[in-house]
């Protein structure tokens, strides 16, 4: 297994419900480390750009409207096998199908309002991290 980085977004309903800490704690307690973080209220253009891969999907308008409905908490997470690990910790896209104990099972409301986003592959992780963070904004976690 290799050390990887992946993009994580805590979505508007979870930020609104004051669940940032509870969700970050899930990642930290299960082997992932925050190496960049910022709160941001995405514009429509930013949301359309970030989710461009879904632009032909029937739910695209709803997705953009929702992700711009309030601030989101955007992070780069690092760890062994971080892309798959993050997806395990999040659970299935649809909270109704997410395994017990996963973030989406515990906090998600619906397939659209599903608490967190996470990159799905190495190339998307690289692109998604670069979409939000410049190189100098992602920290190597050294101490002393």
Chain residues that interact with ligand CMP, rule: CB under 6 A: 54, 59, 62-63, 93, 111-112, 114, 117
Please tell me the distance from the alpha carbon of residue 16 to that of residue 129, in angstroms, as a whole number.
Answer: 23
* Active-site residue list: 117
- What angle do helix axes 82-90 and 20-29 make, rounded to 10 degrees? 130
Q: How far is the CB of 40 from ligand CMP (least distance, A)?
A: 15
Give me the helices (H) in 10-140, please: 12-16, 20-29, 44-50, 60-67, 82-90, 103-107, 122-132
- Other C-beta atoms lying within 10 Å of the C-beta of residue 99: 10
Minimum CB separation of residue 67 from ligand CMP in Å reads: 7
């Amino acid at each position: 297994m290799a050390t990887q980085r992946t993009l994580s977004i805590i979505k508007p309903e979870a930020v609104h419900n004051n669940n940032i800490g509870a969700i970050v704690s899930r990642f930290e307690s299960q082997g992932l480390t925050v190496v960049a973080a910022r709160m941001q209220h995405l514009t429509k253009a930013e949301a359309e750009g970030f989710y461009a891969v879904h632009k032909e999907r029937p739910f695209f308008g709803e997705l953009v409207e929702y992700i711009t409905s309030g601030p989101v908490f955007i992070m780069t997470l690092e760890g062994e096998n971080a892309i798959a690990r993050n997806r395990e910790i999040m659970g299935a896209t649809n909270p109704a199908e997410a395994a017990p104990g996963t973030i989406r099972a515990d906090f998600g409301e619906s397939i659209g309002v599903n608490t967190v986003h996470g990159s799905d592959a190495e190339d998307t992780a690289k692109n998604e991290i670069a979409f939000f963070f410049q190189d100098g904004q992602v920290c190597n976690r050294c101490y002393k």
